[in-house]
Each structure stands twice: as C-alpha cells, then as structure tokens.
C-alpha cells in the first residue's frame, strides 16, 4: 500500500479509501466484515461511512454499527485506522433530526460515536451544504466537538467551489484550521469538478476523495458485464446506451494496456495530483482484491491523453471561456 498526506495536514492516509455505502444496501453483513478485514490486511487505513448508510430509512446507522462491531473485534484496531463519517441527512422524521444546525450536529455526533463504538471521529464531514443554517453556527458546533476531543478534523462533501470558500472563510474568521477534505463525484465520465472545485481544493490545500470512481460500474467493464450489480438498473442501462461508443473505445484502450477497465479508471484518478484517495465501494472481496492492484499502475502521458479525449471535461475556469472567443 502507498500513503499520502491528506491535503495540507500531517495525517497520512492510504491511496485507496474504503467506502461503505454498499454495506447492507447491497452487501450482506458477513461479506461486509470480510471486506473490512481484507482492506485492513492490505494496508488500507482510510475508512469512510455516513450516519445515513444502512438497509432502509428505518435502519439508518446500520453501516456505522457494523463498523463499530468490527473495530471492537480486534484490540488496538481503532488506533491505526482513519475513520470518517458524515452528518446532514435526516435520521428520523423528527423536524430537527437533519441538516447542520448546532442542535443536530451535537446529537448526530454523539449517536455516530455510540454506533461506531469509539470516543472520536477522525474526519467529520458535512454531507451536503446547508443553505438554512449560518456558517457561524455550524463552526461553533464543530469547535465545541473538537475541544471535547470528539472530532479531530472537519471535511465537506458535495460542495461547490463557492461553498468551499465560504465555509473555509468562516472557519478562518474564528481562527480555526477549517476544511481538510472534500468528497465529490469524479470519474472519467463525470468531470464537472474540474471546472472550479478542484482549483478551490488545491488553493486551500484540502485532500480530495472522489466518490463513484467507476461511474456506478460503467467503467468496470460495462461492455461485457452490463447485467451485473447496479449496472442492471434501468438508469444505468440508459447511461450505458448514452455512452456506448465511448465505452467501447475505452475498453479497447484497456485491452491495449492489458488491464481490467476498473483498474484503468482508478489509475487515471490517482494520476491527478489533486486526488488523495478514490473512495472504492467494493461489493465483495473479489472486487476489492482487484481494485488494490490499481495502486501500482503507471499510465503514460500518451494513454492519459487518450483517456482524457474519450469524455471531454468542462475545462478549468476561466481559461476554458476562451472557446467562446477572446476574454472581454
């Protein structure tokens, strides 16, 4: 395994982050525990979850509980993993059991700690930006949790560049370190973050953990395995049809490289200096074992160019505006 600093922090994390969205959702408990064991034995020290992950609305928190049980099974395990979870989503029908009010942040943190069976969360992430709560209130709640030792770092997820800057500025006005990481969707097909978000992340010095690195399975071999897992869902079949020509060319490139498509997609991400660790949501141990091989793949500039031409990114603002003519 290879390790890297999380943005400007001194915290070192593995180049792959194990995501747990699939736990209970599509992966049964025994298989999820095996995935966690394999990740640990392979050197992954970076684990991501969220308080809303679980079987269904009535069982939100199930993924955190499973991780908590797993942590307790081995003495000292908690001391060598970097544990991330998230706050924002509604945990019940109660009106204040969602969002980023100080009321909900305090309550949600305590409940996550109880389920995770730990006394602290390493990276506590805002799952979405809250347009209804002042940033001063949010940071006041986080500052208290940090002072209490319940949280070490604060991260964001699904934020725009403007929201990242606003949130960081509010932290700095309070003399706080601020945001250390961002999670957004990013893969060869979905490249919207290249427009402004990645520039904001670099500017502030945040870590970046792309979620859905395989585009929900489309980049894992959709041409040959289009009926597997989530790829069998109607909207995924539609996405496959919309991208069929590019996907065929993509898999031809993978054949030239003699690499499985999933490995090429992960390697492409890790060749970007802004990417700390893709969040891999393996459904079983076989998928995780395969994904681990991406760590040692080196793509030449020629093949990076070939891959980048398959799905054109938006370009980086404001340089990309020149396609409309000279800047005014």
The alpha carbon of residue 192 and the mean position of all alpha carbons in its chain are separated, in whole angstroms, by 15
Q: Which residues contact 90 (CB under 8 A, 6 or more apart)?
A: 52, 97, 98
Helix (H, G, I), strand (E, B) or coil at 169: helix
Residue 278, judged by CB atoms within 10 A of its CB (0-12, 13-18, 19+), counts as buried
Contact 295, 234 (CB under 8 A): no
* Cα separation, 328 vs 322, whole angstroms: 10
* Cα separation, 51 vs 193, whole angstroms: 25
Which of 53, 124, 186, 303 is catalytic? The answer is 53
* Cα separation, 209 vs 107, whole angstroms: 26
Helices 62-72 and 102-116, interaxial angle, to 10°? Answer: 40
* Cα separation, 294 vs 312, whole angstroms: 23
* 62-80 core/surface letters (b: 16 or more CB in 10 A; e: else): bbbbbbbebbeeeeeebee
To the query of whether residue 53 is one of the catalytic residues in this protein, the response is yes
Dihedral sign of CA atoms 230, 232, 234, 239 in order: positive
Backbone angles phi, psi at 223, to 5 degrees: -65, -40
Closest CA to 63 of 125, 124, 119, 115: 115
Residue 42, judged by CB atoms within 10 A of its CB (0-12, 13-18, 19+), counts as middle
Query: Would you name the residues annotated as active-site residues?
Result: 53
């Amino acid at each position: 395994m290879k390790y890297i600093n999380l943005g400007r922090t001194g915290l070192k994390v593995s180049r792959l982050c194990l995501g747990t969205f699939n736990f209970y959702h599509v992966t049964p408990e025994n298989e999820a525990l095996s995935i966690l064991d394999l990740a640990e034995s392979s050197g992954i020290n970076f684990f991501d979850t969220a308080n809303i992950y679980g079987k269904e609305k009535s069982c939100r928190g199930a993924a955190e509980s499973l991780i908590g049980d797993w942590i307790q099974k081995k003495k000292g395990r908690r001391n060598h993993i970097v544990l991330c979870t998230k706050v924002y989503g509604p945990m019940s029908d109660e009106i204040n059991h969602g969002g980023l009010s100080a009321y909900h942040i305090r309550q949600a943190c305590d409940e996550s700690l109880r389920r995770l069976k730990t006394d602290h969360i390493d990276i506590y992430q805002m799952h979405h930006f809250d347009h209804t709560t002042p940033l001063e209130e949010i940071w006041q709640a986080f500052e208290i949790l940090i002072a209490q030792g319940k949280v070490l770092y604060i991260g964001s997820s699904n934020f725009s560049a403007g929201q990242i800057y606003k949130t960081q500025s509010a932290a700095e006005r309070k003399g706080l370190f601020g945001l250390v990481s961002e999670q957004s969707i990013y893969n060869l097909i979905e490249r919207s973050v290249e427009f402004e978000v990645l520039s904001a992340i670099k500017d502030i010095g945040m870590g970046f953990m792309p979620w859905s690195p395989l585009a929900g399975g489309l980049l894992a071999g959709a041409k040959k395995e289009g009926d597997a897992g989530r790829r069998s869902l109607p909207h995924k079949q539609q996405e496959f049809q919309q991208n069929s020509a590019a996907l065929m060319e993509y898999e031809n490139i993978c054949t030239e490289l003699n690499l499985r498509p999933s490995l090429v997609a992960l390697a492409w991400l890790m060749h970007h200096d802004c990417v700390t660790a893709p969040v891999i949501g393996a459904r079983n141990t076989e998928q995780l074992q395969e994904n681990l091989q991406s760590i040692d793949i080196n793509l030449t500039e020629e093949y990076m160019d070939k891959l980048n031409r398959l799905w054109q990114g938006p370009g980086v603002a404001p340089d990309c505006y020149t396609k409309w003519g000279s800047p005014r």
